[in-house]
Structure 1
Amino acid sequence: MLRKFYSTIFSIFIIIFGLTVTQAEDAVSNARKPTNEAELKYWLENMVVFHHFTVDEIQQATGMDQSDINAAIKRFDLKPHPKTEQNPKTPLLVKPYPGGRHPRIGFLEGAIDPQRETKISVFTPWDQHSYVVLDIPEAIWSNLGLTYLAHTHVPTIWSKQNIAMKPLEWKRHDSGTLSMTRKLPNGIEFTTVVVPRQDAVLMDMLLKNGTDQPLTNLRVQNCAMLKMAKGFAQQSNDNKLFRAPYAACRSETGNHWMIMAWSPCFKPWGNQKCPCLHSDPIFPDCAPGETTRVKGWFSFYTGTDIEGELKRIDELDWQKIPMKNP
């Protein structure tokens, strides 16, 4: 009887231990471990200094042991960035989003294992502890079906064939520009370029048709997730304004706004569960061997005359501002 009792206890322990290990492995299955000391320092600075990650969140993002994380933070002498306003003479602060901390509050089942290579953080100029995460692109549709998705949710034309996407990273250029290019298995290639300026973040998205057939219905889903932007994270669309190509969100205090636009715009909208803003563009039809593009804008506004601000932005003809692709 005693042997049977201990055997049962041991079996229960093995089951619990196995579940714990499995859960831990699942928790870091989407992690990106830095490949060298320079990358380790960069990403830890990104997470600790700017995003204010906890050690648990850093572990989620990197898959590293917590003891190694703590030792590296101490070795690099990293401390969270003080709560300051942006210097108006400098470009808006933009960083690659490091992953680990899910950028949504709700509808998490609609974004399993979000991939960081499409996501950037744009920090608010009045409080650089707050930021919005832009997912550019979150998804691309075409006449072929769902052609790309930056997380796991509904099946893509690739997941239906059990073809996984290789993890990528943003290229960080000395000018402060970020760029990312992905070539899909059928030859379609898309590139996103992000250029921070003092007044806005300009964005360029290019799509090259490397197939032998025309591409049509090239709708893109571009998302601004508001979870970590203080005063903007209400799970409601009552604080949002949608007027193509603009999607804007008002703060709880009523005197701060975030504005996103893409052109040509297919649809501006918001998902109150996330919560998020969308200005979803549509690429012109693209013949084999050709490249097409859409243009993006993201900015902040302090004030209450949002209609006047949208008019001011319109008058800039931001879609025509030249951008040098790095």
Structure 2
Amino acid sequence: MEEVIDIRTLQCYQKATEEQRKKCTSKLSFEIGKLPTLKLQEEWTFYIKHCGEVKSLSSVRQETVYFKRVCEFMNHLSVDSMKVQTKAVWGQQFESWVSAQGLKAYRESNKNKNWRERTPIVLYFLHMLDFIDSEMSGQRIYFKDLACYQEASEEERKKCGREPYFDLSLLPTQQLRKEWGAYIKESARIYTLGTSFQHRVYYNQICRFLNSRIVCVKSMREQSKEKWEYQFKRWLMTEGIQINRKSQSVYSKEGIARNPNISYLLRMVDFTCPNIWEDETEKDIWELEKLPIEIKNNPIKKVKTLNFTNIRQPDMRNEIKKEFIYCFRRKQSLRLQRGLQQGND
């Protein structure tokens, strides 16, 4: 068992730019040997290397600081493995210890000042527990179990490395895991192994996005496709990731195309919510909260429904409903464009 994991040996370092690498020194490492038992060292080594595969170099750099605190915490306990206690018990113990050290276990939420959220060091510890749970409960979708893998050649399989997988535990809620699991399996029936392997890169990015402060949902069905696109583009820009790229047309002309990770997310939304409009708009009384759009309402006199029952002619009623849908979608699209323009400014 290695005593120290140098950050420069992790995959995130290999994928990073030269400028990002310059910020890393030999002092940035995970001192695994400071954990009290070999089993704990094995579990945390596995998790750290996993983070090196799915997270950015800057995130892993920060986690070296959190890990030092975790080692201090673990040396105050008499446990052999992270699996001996439930996540709830671990969470209470770690939060109490963090507070006793004069650190913050919670902070004020940026979205809601009346709501407190866990600090990054606590989230780091809890995510490790989720990772251990995923190992025990099978929250991994291995490529070898997907249709694209069965149809691939031996040479294509070798390019994907040793037992690659999609890690559903990276998603914040059980419902999201269920939705993404279904989409991953279905898309593997359509795309080749090489394309599906690239999709895993997009998926890991999207997991980071879904865990960010920009998003606060339990299901992909809670927002419209336009809002997902706006939020994801906003997150990509804050991460320094381009939202567009140069493309070559069939006429050898250069153009601008959407970044494929955005297209991947939107295809997933289409798969999960194919009838998200029809579910509500086929009715003659619409509940506005169930529509996949954000509607600004008067806080004093709040409108909750749109009632079309007084339009007696069925054909006219349907035409008016279609016009409402068009206007809603048009307004949502314009709002998205304005938001992105402001972000670029």
Give your verdict on TM over 0.5: no
TM-score, structure 1 normalization: 0.29
The structure, 1 or 2, with the larger RCO (C-alpha pairs under 8 Å, 6+ apart) is: 1
TM-score, structure 2 normalization: 0.28
| Larger Rg belongs to | 2
- Which structure shows the higher helix fraction? 2
